């Protein structure tokens, strides 16, 4: 097998530039996005729509003049997690490669990946991208970038006492422009050319009559100003329209009939045609989420509260000093810049020992910042430091909780361990929810009725109780598109092939030679290679993140769907009594 850390495989692009692993206050959209998407169904026609919420962009690479031509070309960027197999381009037969992708508004860094997954793999900036958008990649080169959506470059410059009507943007089909949160609240946004207008007013026509509310300037990006506000509404609501000013003599009306510049002496209808709101806004966003101040925590890098659970046992786990220099060669690492991201992949092996105990110890600090909601990156059993390669959704990773056998791994010793194909599940001692132990050798199955709790699970539930007592809400990262290679159900497929109970759970592309359907010490010495079982994975064919099989009606195939639903119920309501509120407060859903 290749001696590469889990989910690295020398395929991750070197875009991580610092050790900053937690950020505040931007996760509300992630929490409510699934609910908001439901609201989009049945929305009104594209009145005044200046651009779609997502735009199609075409990437092109012309290799016609190259002497050495690639066999495959992909695009990896911020929009697909720098996945080397994320967007495959197609050769038109002459050497011009192209591919399309729908992207939401924003600026995205990217590179072309030539011959991905082969010894000839090469990262290449786009030779035809706008050089003014280039960003340092941290390795002596640069990433290309593309701007999706409105940009000041598309409009003439702003002039005093004049409004550029073409640059006044509002799309009622875009939830970031018009979002009916529930029957009592609406959020609106309108954009203009930067510094082009002095005031924006939203006019609301509801049961209480017509009210005019000022919209504050929220952000300025790509030469565009964003104005917005959140307003209370009283049904029935006729709709909204906007009044935009630039000085004393320039005025613009935006309503259901479009946009028009009007001067002080121009006749304007007393009551413009209101832009209607959806009559059924869909499920309510929880009241607490509307006022949440979020803090995102990447547990392994936040705070080490209990050295007894530190990682460092596995060959790809190198425990390093908490305050060490990120760019230096640390104890136990192979020297040389070529081994930082690639080569030995030092950065992927680093472990710092962050855990649930450390987060609990920091609750008073978070409260002092004004934070009242915490979003945790994945915490379930997994091999990697990021835990997006889930090995078991039912249990908290023992390096975050309590190890069955407390351990004090030495600094810099992890890379001296012999390679193993995958990490075993950490905890094997099970308890009832009240903490009473089960008999030694108790075995869980895929039947939720057999699921019990480990010391790590109980410690996490106790953390949730303490967090709630201190006024916090906590949501978890639901990575339900794929698992890690160490997941026991995927391991069962490799050992039993089509005879596995879980054969239809995963996106298998080739079952290989049935003679290889048997238990092996290292299944990846055979599977993922010619003659072995082949699978689709989020990080590329036969990758470290095997994808669940999909179903067009419900998203996931029946087997994984039922499993994931049981998992979500387990962590939302551990004791099965909604009144006790003993579980997590919600989920952030990862890639679909």
pLDDT in tens, 358-393: 999 999 999 999 999 999 999 999 999 999 999 999
How do 142-148 and 135-136 pair as beta strands? antiparallel
How do 318-319 and 350-351 pair as beta strands? parallel
The DSSP call for residue 457 is: H
Decide: helix, strand or coil at residue 152. Answer: helix
Residue 279 has a pLDDT of 62
E strands, 290-432, in order = 294-297, 318-319, 350-351, 373-376, 380-382, 390-396
- Once rounded to an integer, what is the mean pLDDT over residues 6-11? 46
> What phi and psi values does residue 501 have, to the nearest 5 degrees?
-60, -25
Query: Does position 19 have pLDDT exceeding 60, yes or no?
Result: no
Residue 60 has a pLDDT of 97
- Residue ranges of alpha helices (H) inside 108-162 are none
CA dihedral 326, 479, 431, 448 (to 10 degrees): -170
Query: Does position 46 have pLDDT exceeding 50, yes or no?
Result: no
pLDDT band at 94 (very low <50, low <70, confident <90, very high): very high
CA distance 1 to 526: 9
pLDDT band at 405 (very low <50, low <70, confident <90, very high): confident
- Once rounded to an integer, what is the mean pLDDT over residues 307-314? 91
How many helices and strands (H and E) does the chain possess?
8, 30
Residue 569 has a pLDDT of 97
DSSP assignments along 256-316, one per residue: TTEEEEE-TTS---SSPPPBPPPS---SPPPHHHHT--EEEE-GGGT----GGG----STT
Which pTM was predicted?
0.73
Residue 476 has a pLDDT of 98
In the chain the domains, ranked by start, together with CATH numbers, are 52-149 (2.60.40.10), 165-281 (2.60.40.10), 294-481+561-589 (no CATH), 488-547 (no CATH)
Residue 318 has a pLDDT of 93
pLDDT band at 6 (very low <50, low <70, confident <90, very high): low
Task: Provide the phi-psi class of 497: left if phi over 0, else alpha when psi is between -120 and 50, else beta.
Answer: left
Query: Does position 254 have pLDDT exceeding 80, yes or no?
Result: yes
pLDDT in tens, 102-116: 998 888 999 999 999
Query: Does position 265 have pLDDT exceeding 70, yes or no?
Result: no
Residue 415 has a pLDDT of 55
- Once rounded to an integer, what is the mean pLDDT over residues 422-432? 81
- Once rounded to an integer, what is the mean pLDDT over residues 231-240? 92
Token pair recorded at residue 16: 């991580």
Q: Distance from CA of residue 545 to its chain's centroid?
A: 15
Decide: helix, strand or coil at residue 478. Answer: strand
Query: Does position 29 have pLDDT exceeding 60, yes or no?
Result: no
Percent of the chain with pLDDT over 70: 87
Residue 49 has a pLDDT of 32
- Residue 569 is inside which H or E element, if any? helix 558-572
pLDDT in tens, 520-549: 999 999 999 999 999 999 988 899 999 999
Please compute, for residue 203, the number of CA atoms within 13 A of its CA located in the half-sphere on the CB side: 18
Residue 354 has a pLDDT of 97
CA distance 205 to 238: 5
Residue 27 has a pLDDT of 38
CA distance 523 to 510: 15
């Amino acid at each position: 097998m290749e001696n590469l850390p889990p989910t690295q495989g020398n395929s991750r692009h070197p875009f991580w530039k610092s050790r900053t692993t937690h950020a505040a206050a931007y996760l509300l959209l992630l929490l409510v996005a699934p609910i908001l998407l439901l609201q989009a169904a049945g929305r009104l026609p594209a009145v005044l729509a200046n651009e779609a919420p997502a735009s199609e962009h075409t990437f092109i690479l012309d290799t016609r003049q190259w002497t050495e031509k690639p066999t495959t070309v992909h695009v990896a960027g911020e929009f697909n997690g720098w996945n080397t197999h994320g967007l495959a381009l197609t050769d038109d037969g002459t050497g011009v490669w192209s591919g399309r992708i729908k992207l939401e508004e924003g600026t995205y860094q990217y590179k072309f990946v030539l011959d991905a997954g082969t010894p000839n793999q090469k990262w290449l900036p786009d030779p035809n991208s706008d050089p003014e958008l280039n960003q340092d990649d941290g390795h002596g080169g640069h990433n290309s970038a593309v701007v999706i959506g409105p940009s000041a470059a598309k409009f003439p410059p702003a002039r005093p006492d004049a409004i550029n009507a073409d640059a006044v943007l509002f799309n009622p089909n875009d939830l970031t422009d018009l979002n009916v949160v529930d029957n009592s609240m609406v959020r609106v946004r309108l954009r203009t050319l930067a510094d082009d207008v002095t005031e924006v007013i939203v006019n609301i026509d509801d049961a209480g009559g017509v009210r005019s509310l000022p919209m504050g300037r929220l952000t300025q990006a790509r030469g565009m100003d964003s104005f917005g506000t959140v307003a209370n509404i009283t049904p029935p609501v006729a709709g909204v329209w906007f009044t935009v000013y630039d000085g004393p003599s320039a005025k613009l009306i935006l309503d259901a009939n479009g946009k028009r510049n009007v001067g002080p002496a121009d006749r304007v209808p007393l009551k413009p045609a209101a832009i209607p709101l959806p009559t059924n806004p869909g499920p309510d966003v929880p009241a607490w989420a509307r006022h949440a101040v979020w803090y995102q925590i990447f547990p392994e890098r936040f705070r080490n509260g209990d050295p007894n659970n530190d990682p460092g046992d596995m060959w790809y786990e190198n425990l390093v000093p908490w305050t060490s220099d990120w760019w230096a060669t640390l104890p136990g690492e192979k020297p040389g810049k070529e081994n930082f991201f690639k080569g030995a992949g030092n950065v992927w092996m680093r472990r710092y020992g962050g855990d649930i105990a450390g987060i609990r110890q920091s609750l008073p600090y978070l409260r002092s910042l004004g934070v009242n909601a915490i979003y945790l990156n994945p915490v379930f059993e997994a091999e990697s430091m990021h835990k997006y390669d889930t090995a078991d959704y039912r249990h908290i990773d023992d390096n975050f909780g309590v190890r069955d056998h407390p351990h004090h791994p030495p600094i810099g010793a992890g890379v001296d361990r012999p390679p193993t194909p995958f990490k075993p599940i950490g905890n094997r001692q099970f308890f009832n929810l009240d903490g009473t132990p089960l008999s030694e050798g108790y075995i869980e199955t895929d039947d939720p009725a057999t699921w019990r709790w480990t010391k790590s699970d109980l410690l996490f539930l106790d953390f949730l109780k303490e967090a709630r007592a201190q006024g916090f809400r906590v949501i978890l990262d639901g990575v339900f598109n794929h698992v890690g290679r160490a997941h026991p159900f995927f391991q069962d497929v490799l050992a039993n092939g089509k005879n596995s109970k879980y054969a239809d759970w995963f996106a298998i592309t080739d079952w290989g030679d049935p003679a290889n359907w048997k238990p092996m010490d290292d299944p990846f010495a055979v599977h993922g290679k010619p003659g072995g079982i082949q699978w689709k994975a989020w990080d590329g064919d036969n990758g470290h993140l095997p994808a669940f099989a999909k179903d067009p009606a419900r998203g996931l195939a029946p087997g994984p769907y039922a499993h994931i639903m049981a998992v979500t119920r387990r962590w939302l309501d551990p004791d099965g009594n909604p009144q006790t509120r003993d579980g997590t407060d919600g989920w952030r859903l990862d890639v679909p």
